[in-house]
């Protein structure tokens, strides 16, 4: 920690504003926002037209309108969650504008995670996906609530290190919806060669497997990447370890 070397006689100067690293020193910020905005722009309109024919997933035959409305709510609030959580992990914004960070954090939790998560639980059960997929989505919903509220509690108790760790996990779970689309593409390519053999030409069965596998893989892998990110050593310590190792071997 920096020591205060100000002479006692001098008038205390206001502490320099801690602005943190510039956005261009965090090259992942721009693609992150781009991905979040693109995902919302590509998906949300199909669920705001109030036309069940626009839905990009299969609706329940018995109650398509209700199913569509539940999805619309889930996706509208989910879009708020996706956009606000991209802001939350931006170090510059956090340090230069802590008020904005707090306001968008409240939006993330109360206008994003809570309503979108409750509706995610409902659409998980209602979805035409089979039980293994429903369980995967319900697990994701539960963990999204858990990590988010653990993060909120830590912030309220001013345990900011814990707050950051829980919120990084919550962010990873929120972005699993984006990763899910990527995994669907990868899994389709991986399973296509097995359509004639294992699936006996039944492409629908192959897509059903892809749907379930992508639900589980997307949030588990995202969570593991988040944990790796949290546990990796800071750059400064990685750098200082090199000369120390070198002196240790030459001593
Ligand atoms: C993290 C917890 C989340 C869970 C558990 C969850 C769960 C679900 C479920 C079960 C469905 C219905 C799938 C089907 O019937 O086949 C769905 C659809 C959808 N969700 Fe979520 N979701 C979550 C977060 C989000 C977020 C943050 C967004 C951001 C906008 C989002 C956007 C969508 C979209 C666009 C669809 C419709 C499918 C499509 O058109 O691709 N979800 N979600």
For residue 92, the model assigns a pLDDT of 87
For residue 28, the model assigns a pLDDT of 82
CB of 177 closer than 6 angstroms to any ligand 1 atom:
yes
Residue nearest to atom 7 of ligand 1 (CA): 120
- Residue 199: helix, strand or coil by DSSP? coil
For residue 6, the model assigns a pLDDT of 39
CA 75 and chain centroid, separation = 14
Query: Is residue 4 predicted with pLDDT exceeding 80?
Result: no
CB of 81 closer than 6 angstroms to any ligand 1 atom:
yes
Q: How far is the CA of 74 from the centre of ligand 1 (A)?
A: 7
pLDDT in tens, 80-106: 999 999 999 888 888 899 999 999 999
CA distance 150 to 112: 16
Picking from 166, 183, 184, 182, the residue whose alpha carbon sits closest to that of residue 85 is 166
Query: First vs last Cα of the chain: how many Å apart?
Result: 30
Specify whether the CB–CB gap between 173 and 145 falls below 8 A: no
Ligand 1 atom showing the smallest separation from residue 211 Cα: 16
pLDDT in tens, 110-160: 999 999 999 999 999 999 999 999 999 999 999 999 999 999 999 999 999
pTM of the full structure: 0.86
Domain map (residue ranges) of the chain: 26-174
Query: Is residue 251 predicted with pLDDT exceeding 60?
Result: no
Tokens describing residue 120: 């995610």
Query: Is residue 197 predicted with pLDDT exceeding 50?
Result: yes
CA distance 75 to 45: 10
If pLDDT is split at 50, 70 and 90, which confidence band does 244 have?
low
Picking from 151, 173, 147, 148, the residue whose alpha carbon sits closest to that of residue 162 is 151
Mean pLDDT confidence for 51-66: 96
If pLDDT is split at 50, 70 and 90, which confidence band does 12 have?
very low
Specify whether the CB–CB gap between 134 and 127 falls below 8 A: yes
For residue 236, the model assigns a pLDDT of 61
Percent of the chain with pLDDT over 90: 77
CB of 82 closer than 6 angstroms to any ligand 1 atom:
yes
Q: What dihedral do alpha carbons 186, 187, 189, 192 form, nearest 10°?
A: 180
Specify whether the CB–CB gap between 31 and 175 falls below 8 A: no
Any idea which residue has 């963990």 for tokens?
Answer: 143
CB of 75 closer than 6 angstroms to any ligand 1 atom:
yes
Q: How far is the CA of 75 from the centre of ligand 1 (A)?
A: 6
């Amino acid at each position: 920690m920096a020591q205060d070397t100000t002479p006692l006689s001098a008038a205390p100067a206001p502490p320099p504003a801690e602005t943190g690293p510039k956005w261009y020193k965090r090259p992942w910020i721009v693609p992150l926002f781009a991905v979040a905005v693109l995902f919302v722009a590509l998906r949300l309109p199909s669920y705001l037209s109030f036309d069940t024919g626009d839905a990009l997933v299969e609706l329940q035959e018995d109650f398509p309108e209700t199913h569509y409305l539940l999805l619309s709510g889930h996706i509208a609030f989910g879009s708020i969650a996706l956009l606000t959580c991209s802001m939350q992990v931006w170090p510059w914004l956090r340090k230069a504008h802590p008020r904005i960070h707090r306001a968008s954090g409240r939006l993330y939790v109360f206008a994003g995670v809570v309503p979108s998560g409750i509706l995610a639980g409902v659409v998980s059960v209602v979805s035409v996906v089979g039980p293994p997929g429903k369980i995967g989505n319900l697990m994701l919903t539960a963990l999204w609530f858990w990590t988010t509220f653990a993060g909120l509690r830590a912030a309220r108790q001013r345990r900011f290190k814990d707050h950051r760790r829980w919120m990084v996990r919550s962010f990873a779970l929120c972005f699993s919806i984006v990763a899910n689309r990527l995994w669907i593409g990868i899994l389709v390519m991986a399973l296509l060669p097995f359509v004639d053999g294992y699936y006996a030409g039944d492409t629908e069965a192959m897509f059903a497997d892809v749907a379930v596998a992508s639900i589980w893989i997307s949030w588990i892998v995202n969570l593991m990447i988040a944990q790796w990110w949290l546990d990796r050593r800071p750059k400064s310590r990685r750098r200082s370890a090199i000369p120390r190792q070198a002196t240790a071997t030459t001593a």
